Amino acid sequence: MFSIDANNPFRTLEVRAAVEIVDDAARTFMARIIGTYGQSLETMADQAAEERVVVTFRPARVRAQG
C-alpha cells in the first residue's frame, strides 16, 4: 500500500505486507464490528446479504517519510 498526503506530496507512507483473504460466509467478523456500534446482522440485513471477506495485512516493511 502506498499513500500520499493530499496536503503535502512529500509526506508518504509505504506498507509492504503479506495479505491473507478469507471468506466470511457466516458473517462473524461483520457481526463483531457492527456490534461495536449497537447494530446486529438483523438490523443491517441488506448489507449482511452481500458477499464478505476478511482481509488481514501482516506488515513486513513500513516506511514513512515527511
Confidence category of residue 65, pLDDT binned at 50, 70, 90: very high
Of residues 25, 16, 14, 29, the one with CA closest to residue 63:
14
**Number of structural domains found in the chain:** 1
What is the pLDDT confidence band of residue 16, given thresholds at 50, 70 and 90?
very high
- Specify the pLDDT at position 41: 84
Q: Is the pLDDT of residue 46 over 80?
A: no
Domain extent for 42: 2-65
Enclosing H/E stretch for 31 = helix 28-35
Separation between Cα atoms, residue 44 and residue 40, nearest integer Å: 6
Task: Compute the mean pLDDT over every residue in the chain, rounded to the nearest whole number.
Answer: 92
At residue 34, φ and ψ (nearest 5 deg) are: -70, -25
Assess whether pLDDT exceeds 80 at residue 50. yes
Q: What is the DSSP string of 37-55?
A: TT--TTTTHHHHTS--EEE
Can you read off the three cell numbers belonging to residue 23? 471468506
Percent of the chain whose predicted confidence (pLDDT) is above 70:
100
